Amino acid sequence: MKEITLKLQGKIKRLTNDTFKFDERVGEGWFSAVYFLKTKKIAERHKADNIITMQFFQKKHAVLCGTDEVIALIKTFAEKPEELEIYSLKDGDKIAPFETVLTIKGHYQQFGFLEGVIDGILARRTSVATNVYEVVKAAKSSGVEKPVIFMGDRDDHFTQQAGDGYAAFIGGSQAQATHAMNEWWGKKGMGTMPHALIQLFEGDVVEATKAYQETFPDDELMALVDYNNDVITDSLKVAREFGDKLKGVRVDTSKTLVDQYFFRNPEVLGTFDPRGINPTLLFALRKALDEEGFQHVKIVVSGGFDAKRIEEYEKLGAPVDIYGVGSSLLKIHIGFTGDNVLLNGKPEAKTGRIYRPNPRLEKIEFDD
């Protein structure tokens, strides 16, 4: 049973290294900035008895993620972690600019070398969670909640998929492209067909879809229809062939192309950019499917979508049922800072930084 299940059942409070599986070299300082390692040695030699309080914050309205991972990191690699006093918010908490999300109290040499690693975990996880949250919010802005598929596998190094998938889950996406993205939170990856499958059948979308159905008969049948840059023609072909068995069509038209529909209907041009996916094309696709009795066929769009674009589509009432989103969700735009703000219980920090207590923080017990 995955730890996330135990957490959701209330049997554990936080995920542990059983989920995260840290690189053991963290404890050797391999991933820490060298000046932290040098400060650790100086503290051991000259200021071993000092007690410092370190606090972490960022500067935007955001959805916090990475706290379980950070706490597991401290418990795994800090020296005598049971002696540390840790307070933290939770993954999924909404946070404000400059709000303290985590404090650690103890001897600097016990944990100070982990400062940069902690900042990095919180920055990446919170950025992804916040990006996904904004996209999910945009996708239901019309009043109808529409699924968002997290398709970030090709936009970053594969080793980041498990953590990014968990952050996406915290942000509100429960459909993800790879099994690795689901590793920390329990489901399997989902997906239908890439352009490569249609290429194997020389551009014949119907034959490619037949092969898919024969090979994966238990899957919901979803056809990719932009391979030939004629989404309406190919959507109708697969709809006529598969009828009620066809659950949806996915449009992934490149933003450098203009679909063949516009060359057949030039009178609709002149007031918008016809390249790539656009609401006019989707309205025409929905109309064509409905007129032939295929109202049940859903329209899935992917390629270049972010929260702003989705919100625009929703305001227009564009007939989209599911959004596939990738690169925009992985932009790291939230940076965290760890500051030493108390020395032996008294204020002591760089100019401009002060101790900011936060009543929302919960104490972390070492036995959790």
pLDDT reported for residue 368:
54
pLDDT number for residue 280: 97
Averaged pLDDT, 7-24 = 94
pLDDT tens string 313-335: 999 999 999 999 988 989 999 99
What is the predicted pLDDT for the residue at 78?
A: 97
Rounded mean pLDDT, 87-99: 98
Nearest to 101 by CA among 117, 84, 83, 123: 123
Report the alpha-carbon distance of residue 32 to residue 41 in Å, rounded.
13
Contact 75, 84 (CB under 8 A): no
Dump pLDDT digits (tens) for 268-294: 999 999 999 999 999 999 999 999 999
Query: 63 falls in which pLDDT band (50, 70, 90)?
Result: very high
pLDDT in the model for residue 188: 80
Query: What are the Cα distances from residue 169, in Å, to 124, 125, 128, 160, 285?
Result: 14, 11, 10, 14, 31
* Percent of all residues in the chain with a pLDDT value above 70, rounded to a whole number: 99
pLDDT per residue over 120-164, tens digit each?
999 999 999 999 999 999 999 988 889 999 988 888 899 999 999
Determine the average pLDDT of the residues in 234-242: 98
Question: How many whole angstroms separate alpha carbon 365 and alpha carbon 85?
Answer: 8
Would the pLDDT of 296 be above 80?
yes
Per-residue confidence (pLDDT) for residue 174, from 0 to 100: 82
Assess whether pLDDT exceeds 80 at residue 55: yes
pTM passes above 0.95 = no
| Distance set, CA 347 to CA 43, 54, 103 (Å) | 19, 11, 14
Instruction: Determine phi and psi for 60, rounding to 5 degrees.
Output: -135, 165
pLDDT at 217 over 60: yes
Please state, in angstroms and rounded to a whole number, the distance separating the CA atoms of residues 110 and 44. Answer: 9
